[in-house]
Structure 1
Amino acid sequence: MSFDDSHGETFLYELARDGRTTEVIGYLKRGTSPAVRKRAAELLGDFADHPDEQRRDEIVQELIAAIRHGDSEEVRSQAIDSLVRYGDDAIKRLIDRFSEFDATGAPRWLIAENLIEWLDDDRPEFRLVAAAGLEWFGDEGALPALVEAFTDPDPRVRRRAVRSCGAIGDDRVVEALADRLTDPDTRVEKEAASALGAIGTAKALDALIPAARSGDAEVRQIAIDQLGQYGALDPLPVLLSALEDQSGPIRRTAVVALIELFVQAPSDQSHEMRSTVADRLETLSPTDVVPELVDVVRESGRWAIRRNAVWLLGQFVDEADPEVQECLIHALDAEDETTAQLASTTLAELGGDGLEKRVLLFLQTVEEGSATWNRGQFVLDRLGTDPEIELVSTGVDYTYVSDPEDYTGPDRD
């Protein structure tokens, strides 16, 4: 088999998708460019949960070989990232290859002590393995050495040290992590933003707010995403500002983060916070907000987010245009009952040119008498559609839902 670049990354992805790990390993070992070998190393990380233990063992062995003998720093760094996904035993095997003691049988504290010593080693590979290994074996005692590694001349070491501090999750490193938000290497900046979000305390999230205005789009997106867990209105100004970002993905992330603010808030504050967010959104242009809300309703994997996005559409839009109509009509068939009920209520309240026809066409695709059909008929009833096709004649008892909390109660997901 030829391992040149002619097939491209899509071919590598297809090999991984089909479980052809031996061939992916071949590209890791013999790919003709560092980019191909790096991509192969990345894809091999996806097999960490594979049921075949022998295959996992083979992949771990080849990743370790790439870390030890690879001729590209980017490939070695990616191989470490992938190896970490295989857990403690894989990291111990890697340490064994670099050390003079048997890590496989050593207690965790002894492994951590050796890794801390390696952070001062002259060889960057040792420092990199140490910073990565402390994500698994380190605790609060490793924090001073990891923070010192934040200024390592090798950005790969800085990045892994930052990640390990985020994994340990101690609030005392927040200021040091905040300093890395202006690291010369954007990969370190991104890792610092993620680490602050992982720590997740008010102090950590406060430190993250400036990163939401970073000049790097990926750093901004990570920061905005993490600020949604705040559970209070402190980051509201920066999130509202992000709704006018030039990047579509960032605007969408900002919408989700805004919704997360009141989803994560204490129950006795959630309603007030939701109303405040809705009021502040009204100061923005619909062209900045509505398309992103529509995307969230269609694509979010969390019902708590989707149902609140439906509610916000109802608060923000005066009359539904065709895009909003189609989005809400599709939501009539949502698996989550509250989302579907809110979509029905919102459609009935918003109206809009052509809505009646669109609902009638939709009803032709669903089973008559089903819950989805009844929701559509409710919309027609509220629009004043011909009584012969109204819900009134069916005698169905329809529940009117106008607020995301009408059904959610204490369970918001």
Structure 2
Amino acid sequence: MSLYDLARSGDVDGLEEMLLESDSPAVRKRACELLGEIATKEDMDAIETLVSVAVTDESSAVKAAAVDGLDEIGAEAVEQLLVEITGEKIDEGADWAVAKRFAKALSSNIPELRMAAASALGKLGDESGINSLKSALSDEDPRVRQRVCMALGEINHPSAVPALIDRLSDPNGQVRHEAAIALSAIGTDQALGALKNMMDADNTAIRRIAASALGEAGTADVVEPLAAALNDPDEGVRSAAIYSIIELLSNVDTQKSHSIRERIVTELQDADDATVEPIVEILEESSQQRQRRNAAWFLGRVVDEPNRKTVDVLVDALESDDTQTAQFAATSLAEMGGELVEDELLELVESDAPDDARAQGVFILGKVGGERSRDVVENLTEDDSKQVRKRAFSAISKLKGR
């Protein structure tokens, strides 16, 4: 079985076996990542295997993946690595006491332990570890610096902002990226100001990092710089800005969502194909429901003359298991209208697609269809599906009225 099949079936033992027996560092690395995703703190054998790999594997990338896998499972799993390396058991106690032990481990001469300690401090979220983490931002190993930035973002305390701003000029791109994400998560004026300044940098990679990070901010204050980035000469920056705009809406507090949504729509009103393409990609490929919902909703507000790809993706979204995604896709198709939309919907309603999707298609045809739609919809009043028949009777009255 492949790694993917093992993970999909929840076969922790099979993944462990692949991890221990494979000669390929790439396979071992991916096995560590998947174990982190599916194992729980009750899977002690898996935790012990990851601990062993984090200490003994010949590949630094695999060691790092094992640390990340332990971190994904939880602080208790990371503690096992600390015990393995130091030989000292961590006594149960207050978070500050446990944090103190992890903070001490940040000065270990073993980089994998420093990585694990930084990750654990972030998960604990105890502010007593902030000073130790800030000191560790100068660690010689970029993997450690990267995880320290992530930890400071998780603890989310303004006192870390100046030190994180210094890391925006780190020689390692991943460290710069995680520092930017952490600053966006903390979200103070000073933190966001630093990221906005990065949007004007001559270096394309820096602009891309800033555009990617601003989506974590959760405030409408970042809408304008993200919208401005849609005109960036670099395609990667433009794409990152779109993803951040969708991410911003997916993460923002519900009370703020409406005002941010309106500001974004205003900024994207004259969107071109280069702007629309990443939104279509999110709807087509994202595994996160909130992202897909927002992408489906946006397309109807920013696309006046859709191409076939845009229409196809929205029609496919009518079959989504998520009711809201399907409803937003229907609303967007109705907003767009036109011959292309009608063509695709006529094909859908006469196909063997699920009844929910066909019923949605009939509903939209009632809003945007013409003579062709009227003939097809009339026939659907005798469809086997009660849902489709009900929508067809409603749509016919609208079509005849036009």
TM-score, normalised to structure 1, is: 0.74
Q: How many Å separate the matches in 2 of 1:304 and 1:61?
A: 36
Q: Which stretch shows the higher mean deviation, 327-336 or 172-181?
A: 327-336
What does 1:256-275 align with in structure 2 at a 5 Å threshold?
256-259=243-246, 261=248, 273-275=260-262
Q: How many Å separate the matches in 1 of 2:126 and 2:58?
A: 32
Aligned position for 2:23: 32
Deviations 1:230-273 (A, max 9, x none): 3314342344424656556x645533433555677788876565
1:291 aligns with 2:305: no
Aligned with 1:143 (options 113, 120, 130): 130
Q: How many Å separate the matches in 2 of 1:135 and 1:319?
A: 47
Q: What is the percentage of aligned positions where both structures have the same residue?
A: 32
1:231 aligns with 2:219: yes
TM-score, normalised to structure 2, is: 0.75
Judged with a 3 Å threshold, the aligned counterparts in structure 2 of structure 1 residues 63 and 289 are, in CA distance, closer, same or farther, namely: same
1:131 aligns with 2:118: yes
Q: How many Å separate the matches in 2 of 1:175 and 1:331?
A: 44
What does 1:299-310 align with in structure 2 at a 5 Å threshold?
299-300=285-286, 305-306=291-292, 308-310=294-296
Which structure has greater helix proportion?
Answer: 2
Aligned with 1:172 (options 159, 168, 183): 159
1:320 aligns with 2:306: yes
CA contact (8 A) 2:314 2:333 kept: yes
Aligned position for 1:372: 360
Aligned position for 2:195: 208
- 3-state DSSP of counterpart to 1:180: helix
CA contact (8 A) 1:103 1:111 kept: yes
Judged with a 3 Å threshold, the aligned counterparts in structure 2 of structure 1 residues 223 and 179 are, in CA distance, closer, same or farther, namely: farther
Judged with a 3 Å threshold, the aligned counterparts in structure 2 of structure 1 residues 97 and 239 are, in CA distance, closer, same or farther, namely: same
Judged with a 3 Å threshold, the aligned counterparts in structure 2 of structure 1 residues 19 and 240 are, in CA distance, closer, same or farther, namely: same
Q: Which stretch shows the higher mean deviation, 69-78 or 266-275?
A: 266-275
Q: How many Å separate the matches in 2 of 1:315 and 1:370?
A: 23
What is the Cα deviation at residue 151 of structure 1?
Answer: 0.6
1:47 aligns with 2:47: no
Deviations 1:130-159 (A, max 9, x none): 334323446212211110110112223222
Judged with a 3 Å threshold, the aligned counterparts in structure 2 of structure 1 residues 15 and 135 are, in CA distance, closer, same or farther, namely: same
Q: How many Å separate the matches in 1 of 2:205 and 2:328?
A: 34
The gaps in structure 2 that reach 5 residues or longer are 382-391
Q: How many Å separate the matches in 2 of 1:45 and 1:289?
A: 35
Q: How many Å separate the matches in 2 of 1:390 and 1:23?
A: 52
What count of residue pairs does the alignment treat as equivalent?
384
CA contact (8 A) 1:166 1:198 kept: yes
Q: How many Å separate the matches in 2 of 1:334 and 1:19?
A: 25
* Letter in structure 1 aligned against 2:277: P
Judged with a 3 Å threshold, the aligned counterparts in structure 2 of structure 1 residues 236 and 31 are, in CA distance, closer, same or farther, namely: same
Aligned position for 1:79: 66
CA contact (8 A) 1:239 1:257 kept: no
Q: How many Å separate the matches in 2 of 1:17 and 1:304?
A: 23
1:94 aligns with 2:92: no
* Letter in structure 1 aligned against 2:394: V
Q: How many Å separate the matches in 2 of 1:92 and 1:29?
A: 21
The gaps in structure 1 that reach 5 residues or longer are 1-9, 401-413
Aligned position for 1:155: 142
Q: How many Å separate the matches in 2 of 1:362 and 1:220?
A: 39
- 3-state DSSP of counterpart to 1:230: coil
Judged with a 3 Å threshold, the aligned counterparts in structure 2 of structure 1 residues 35 and 363 are, in CA distance, closer, same or farther, namely: closer
Deviations 1:312-344 (A, max 9, x none): 434433333333333344445556666656655
CA contact (8 A) 2:95 2:126 kept: no
Q: How many Å separate the matches in 2 of 1:138 and 1:354?
A: 52
Q: How many Å separate the matches in 1 of 2:112 and 2:7?
A: 28
Q: What is the alpha-carbon root mean square deviation over aligned residues? A: 4.2
What is the Cα deviation at residue 371 of structure 1?
Answer: 3.9
Q: How many Å separate the matches in 2 of 1:323 and 1:166?
A: 38
What does 1:332-351 align with in structure 2 at a 5 Å threshold?
332=318, 343-344=329-330, 346-348=332-334, 350-351=336-337
